[in-house]
Amino acid sequence: MDHNFVSFQLLFPLIFTNMTSSVDVKATVAGGGPSGQSGAIRWGIACGLRSFVSQDMVEKMRIGKIK
């Protein structure tokens, strides 16, 4: 799997919410392949960010697009 693609997948929730320089992420995963692991980390980041963004942004994250 392309390293840049995996990096983008991991960072997408931070990029989407414009919080790439606002939080630090430390994650440990086991099992599965690179795609599944990056998806699990991405999901965890997105869930964690819900505490730091407005309800409006949470709704935008849910549907995956900026209005």
What is the helix (H) or strand (E) element at residue 43, kind and residue range?
Answer: helix 34-49
Q: How many residues does the chain have?
A: 67
Hey, what are 6's tokens? 């995996």
Q: Quick one: what percent of the chain has pLDDT higher than 90?
A: 36
Confidence of residue 66 (pLDDT cuts 50, 70, 90): low
- Lowest mean pLDDT, pick from 17-26, 28-37, 57-66: 57-66
Over 60: is that where the pLDDT of 20 sits?
yes
Confidence of residue 64 (pLDDT cuts 50, 70, 90): low
Cβ atoms 19, 52 nearer than 8 A: yes
What average pLDDT is seen over the chain?
Answer: 85
